[in-house]
Structure 1
């Protein structure tokens, strides 16, 4: 009896896990300037990351521009430096980035700009948590592997001088909550502009960057780990921006297929039945 019960629970658990992980799709998009990031950068002598050089660098808060689209295809992960509130004596904008305290000065500014996804090895998009009206949670994963310089790539450490190179690895994991995703006629769940106001974000940006710039003093390997957050200077100052207006963007992912939903239902029903039978026997 124990073996039957054990293998029954194991089977239902496998089905349940399969159905949950099947919700992430390789097609979809995320396009938003709403989030921020902060964290640390550590320099090493070589790619083994065993011998540290200098102290760990704390980046402070940075605004994030994030765009990844499987159909375009393109992936951009970078600091959104261009927003500005600065004007001259006559009220004219001084220029992009002026007055932006989360812009592209100092350590922590990063840029991965790939308009053909040459180095993207995996990307996943999904909506979840349907509340009866909207899908409220969006999940996104991006994996980049570069073996040489190609796409525009920068990581500012310790400063913005000579910060070019390439990302050996770049991993983005993001979960945004509080969205209002609705099903469209094409089978995609979409949250756009007024429906794309997240209430919170969880996740990270991490990887290894090799600085190969002409500023040889900065050459080396940099391991970075950034936490995503809602601290965004441009969003907080959106009513005072000059030049470019703040852009909330959009999120899109396929609706889970009926077969996937059925598997999830079977898994949940099985676990419930097992618990009910054990309770009655007790």
Structure 2
């Protein structure tokens, strides 16, 4: 099948692209390679891809460039679109909301509107557990109103969901929002806690622990994320059902942040010096996914334990960063 993956040089995008190539698909991969974090990591993700079993074409494109994007759609006639590109980061959205308007609103609309014209079987896109905010009940269920975002990043992601729902209703598109929960693993983003903690452990430096360590996150290993994305993509039940759906993609088992840090410390045989600080603006105290709906479609439940996931992550981290 011909599949478009946007944000392919990003963390999740890289692993989804590899999985699809392993299955023998023709993947057209798009990424702007922006400098939100060091682009070298994105180049290295691309370089690490094994393309022996599928067809792969990489294009550096800003999704707000509608003219170029239209040519790509017209050339390839995609069976599926997996839209993972976005300006990431809760805290950075407080500093630079304009970047989120450009990527998460203008870019999202460009690809959604072109998908409407070219009619892939399924338009799947990345949302975020951040949309739940402070007021949602535990565990987070997709039926929550999610009308009180605590960051501009979350506001853009919730807006994406509403835009896709409207397009599904108006134009008969099949669209699915994937609300990802705290993804970790090899090739992760350097601005996220796992790599920040692992870097500090490798260098013997201290770390900042916000909300005095009183946080829980539904840490979900990257392989479990990817398995669910691919199972949802060509899911016959989901496609036949039509319309717009929202699905949590998480582990469904929140972990205390201090326990996560403890496993990183154990892996590097070090006790990190911790600076305990108040909660940061835009952060939520707990993330906890209700994955009932997801499992009903995919018949798959994340099975990678935190211990196993961190062991694999640390093995990659030591190899890539030279520990």
| Higher Cα Rg, which structure | 1
* Larger proportion of helix: 2
Q: Does TM, normalized by the shorter one, top 0.5?
A: no
* Larger proportion of strand: 1
Q: TM-score, normalised by structure 2?
A: 0.22
